[in-house]
Each structure stands twice: as structure tokens, then as C-alpha cells.
Amino acid sequence: MIKEIKDINYIKNLSNYKVTLNPFNKVIGYYINDILVGFLDYSVMYEKIEINYIFVINEYRRKSIAYNLIKYVVDNYDFENITLEVNVNNVSAINLYKKLGFKIIGIRKKYYDGIDGYLMEVKNDNFSN
Ligand SMILES: CC(C)(COP(=O)(O)OP(=O)(O)OC[C@H]1O[C@@H](n2cnc3c(N)ncnc32)[C@H](O)[C@@H]1OP(=O)(O)O)[C@@H](O)C(=O)NCCC(=O)NCCS
């Protein structure tokens, strides 16, 4: 079950990621038997969506949870494009985004403590189910 997380303290138990609170930001969680096993932090700026972070706890990886969190956003907004930045070495995340139709459209030099990041984008029409 996917639902919005209003109290971001719940996330602190899962990951060190710090949610930035602003009016554009939302966090949704993936629950199995009422237990939070993953979350997606994203921003909606009119017709543009930015994925800020996605996380699934180790034991629950490779079960399409991340895929379904992103799919939830895609199904619930009328967006033009979704963008994100990802560490060039993060193979699992890059594969996830490519599977969903994201393309690498730029490089952010030394974005992650000296390591480059890819800027990736999917346009609404190119999203793969
Ligand atoms: C990246 C992450 C969120 C993926 O979560 P997940 O729920 O395991 O992903 P899914 O099961 O939905 O995977 C969907 C697709 O992504 C790709 N993928 C996911 N994990 C992968 C891995 N370890 N190796 C290669 N490809 C992988 C595959 O194409 C997969 O499809 P398949 O299982 O049919 O082959 C998870 O590994 C994670 O939390 N990593 C740590 C946090 C992180 O790096 N977040 C990204 C920040 S930008």
C-alpha cells in the first residue's frame, strides 16, 4: 500500500536521508502490513516533477517497490516531465530509471562529493509501464 507520509520522523528509522520541507515537497511511503519499507521524496512544481530521493530497505529490494512508488506519482499527476540527479556509480538506481524510460540528458560535474551525477529525464509520453 502506498500513502503519503506526513510525519517525516518515520523516515529517520529507515535511512539517513534528510527530507527538506517546502511547499512543493511530498513524501510517499510503501507499506507492507503497516510497516514502512520504502519511500519516495519528490517535488511538484506545476507541470514539472523532480525526484529528490528514493529508498527501499535492503530486505525488500528487487520486488518492484521503487518502480511502483514512481508509477504512483506518474499515475497521479498531469506532468510534462520528471527529472532527477543520480550518482554515476549508482547502477541499481540508473537501471531502475532507464527501465521506466528515463534518459541521461546531462552530467553534473562533481555533484556527489567529487563524483559526477547524471541528470536524467522522462517526458510524459515516453514513460514506460
Ligand atoms: C535504487 C533502489 C531504490 C531500487 O529499489 P528496488 O525496489 O529494489 O527497485 P525495483 O525492484 O523497483 O527495481 C526495478 C528495476 O530497477 C533495476 N534494478 C533495481 N535494483 C537493481 C540492482 N541491484 N542491480 C541492477 N538493476 C537493478 C532493474 O532494472 C529492476 O527491474 P527488474 O527487477 O525487473 O530487473 C534501491 O536499490 C535503494 O534503495 N538503493 C539505495 C538508495 C538509492 O541509491 N537511491 C537512489 C538515489 S538517486
Atom of ligand 1 nearest to the CA of 68: 12
Reply yes or no on whether the pLDDT at 69 is more than 80: yes
In this structure, the residues whose C-beta lies within 6 A of any atom of ligand 1 are 53-56, 61-67, 86, 90-93, 95-96, 99
**Residue range 77-84: average pLDDT?**
96
**Residue range 54-81: average pLDDT?**
96
Residue having the nearest C-alpha atom to atom 5 of ligand 1: 66
User: Residues of the chain with pLDDT > 70: what percent?
Assistant: 100
Q: Which of 31, 41, 34, 40 minimizes the C-alpha distance to 2?
A: 31
Domain ranges of the chain: 1-79, 80-129
Question: 86 C-alpha to center of ligand 1: Å?
Answer: 12
Between residues 119 and 7, which one has the greater pLDDT? Answer: 119
pLDDT given for residue 10 in this prediction: 81
| pLDDT, averaged across the chain | 94
**Topology, domain 1-79:** Aminopeptidase (3.40.630)
Between residues 11 and 92, which one has the greater pLDDT? Answer: 92
**Residue range 104-123: average pLDDT?**
95
Residue having the nearest C-alpha atom to atom 37 of ligand 1: 92
Reply yes or no on whether the pLDDT at 19 is more than 90: no
